[in-house]
Structure 1
């Protein structure tokens, strides 16, 4: 089976490619546009193990400029993870990048797969489409994103739905909740917290730090994503992938302090512009359709991420 993964050099995309290649008779074609030059070194590291695998082929190209007809030849499943991430950077003139890479690129890919015979087209979305909700959030909750980033990802969902209805593209939408773990991007919270505490830097905390998130360890997220391949009765479904436990930002910092044996210096700045105060995934549908049961505790996940940081980042 040949599978296309967009965003293959990214944090989650590289983990997904590695997991897919552990399966028998799977070939993976990866695409990544390296759209943020600041992440080039990180992405090259993410690809190191993959590039040594003969069943992995990689194209460094913007989706909007790729020869998708050729790339899609023989492809039976697509995981579409590529795009422009980040809530706080999606305002102002920077939003054009989100339009280009989250909306336009998705439409280009959907047009290309119209001519393909796919078994699954998996669109990776985000809990940011929900906005502010109280309690566990089900997939039936009305999306009310709070940021331009959330709007761009929701637009991608709507595009997928339109192409599914009109062209029978076998779309499955996954909404990830706050994924963390080894190889997390340097702009993401856990990476910043670990780096700051280890290097005696002041941590900037948005809001009062009591806001909570449904933190999802990357390997759990990947297992749920891979399960879509063989799952039945999932075409047209939107499915939450959340974590084993929720925690506040201050809880996370306390865990890291205990694990590395150092105290954090905190500076509280501004509010939660564009972000909900709390997120909490109802994963009942994922349990039913994907046999999804996240297994990694926050503490154990943090141990893995800290070890990865020490291995790869302390020498930079």
Structure 2
């Protein structure tokens, strides 16, 4: 068992949603280096942004030499930097593939060359299960859509990184763990996540657009639950060499049902408006999380409505500092 105290922890994407939330849990008892290009900077609005134990290094995961230098002597290495979000993927498939594949390769090599890493954790995606995934477990075959469909470049790029992560574990003995998150949301999310966009629209009583018929089904995982799983995976020996589905199989709703729930919970006057689908979409995605339960003793605790209220409270307080949101989203 690794005790997460007095460790040097290196986090790529440390200024992002997941990275900055994790820093808040670890900062008081560890030395943390957040490595980020600052395209999205959630960290700056956190109360611990100036903490004496935190060092922010501005850098790009495509710069292998800089990444290797910056990660020297790291004991815990979390690779959270990536191009995420289906809208970004559709607009910039080349950048998505390059950053996610090469960036993961560089991160693994940096952790390996450090020679001090006790745990390396990287993020894959639930997208690797394709367009229909009902209670899929980690042994289910991964699948993607047609070559040339921009949406699937994200899943392919993350799956390649996952395979490489397992290869570093087998060939070099690097103590790796992979997470496949299922639709994580919560305070600090400033990108194009469906819940973040819908809540911001609802708070302003603006029209909420759904692309497609809204029948797409998702399971939503609150970020605090994700961080709970992550903390366990960083410390428990059974996690090494494994991939885990991380999500909340109880918090399930259609995209339309999600919009309705947000409007009801926030007492919003927003209209829900349907538009034609813009890209290939995923009809159904619900995880089986038995493996995380068995090996990590992980069970999601935060139900959807509670999570929506807590997320809305954070967004309302930080609305003026959030980046401009797109009018639409694709339901990742």
- TM-score, normalising length from structure 2? 0.87
Residue 166, structure 1, aligned to residue 171, structure 2: yes
**Equivalent position to 2:202, from 197, 203, 219:** 197
Contact 2:24 2:48 in 1 (8 A): yes
User: How far apart are 1:27 and its partner, in Å?
Assistant: 1.7
Equivalent residue, structure 2, for 1:27:
31
- Could you give the per-residue CA deviations for residues 65-123 of structure 1, whole angstroms, max 9, x where no partner exists? 2523432222111111101011233236x112112210111111222222223211101
- Could you give the per-residue CA deviations for residues 262-297 of structure 1, whole angstroms, max 9, x where no partner exists? 232122122373431111111101011111011101
Q: Structure 1 stretches of 5 or more lacking a match? A: none
**Secondary structure of 2:257's aligned partner:** helix
Residue 51, structure 1, aligned to residue 58, structure 2: no
Contact 1:20 1:226 in 2 (8 A): no
Q: Structure 2 stretches of 5 or more lacking a match? A: 1-6, 146-151, 323-332
Contact 2:74 2:111 in 1 (8 A): no
**Secondary structure of 2:22's aligned partner:** helix
Distance 2:133 2:258 in 1: 21
Matches within 5 A, 1:211-290: 211-243=216-248, 244-271=250-277, 273-290=279-296
**Equivalent position to 2:302, from 273, 296, 306:** 296
Equivalent residue, structure 1, for 2:132:
133
CA change 1:268–1:290 in 2 (3 A) is: same
CA change 1:269–1:113 in 2 (3 A) is: same
Equivalent residue, structure 1, for 2:61:
63
User: How far apart are 1:44 and its partner, in Å?
Assistant: 5.3
Structure 1 window deviating more from structure 2 (202-211 vs 258-267): it is 258-267
Q: Which runs of 4+ in 1 moved over 4 A?
A: none
Distance 2:317 2:139 in 1: 42
Residue 100, structure 1, aligned to residue 114, structure 2: no
Distance 1:89 1:62 in 2: 17
Structure 1 window deviating more from structure 2 (141-150 vs 170-179): it is 141-150
- TM-score, normalising length from structure 1? 0.91
Distance 2:26 2:217 in 1: 31
Distance 2:123 2:293 in 1: 18
Equivalent residue, structure 2, for 1:112:
110
Q: How many residues matched?
A: 307
- Could you give the per-residue CA deviations for residues 185-204 of structure 1, whole angstroms, max 9, x where no partner exists? 24221121112122232211
Contact 1:138 1:282 in 2 (8 A): yes
Equivalent residue, structure 2, for 1:16:
22
Equivalent residue, structure 2, for 1:308:
314
User: How far apart are 1:235 and its partner, in Å?
Assistant: 1.5
CA change 1:79–1:18 in 2 (3 A) is: same
Equivalent residue, structure 1, for 2:86:
87
Distance 2:125 2:278 in 1: 17
Cα RMSD (Å) of the superposition? Answer: 1.9
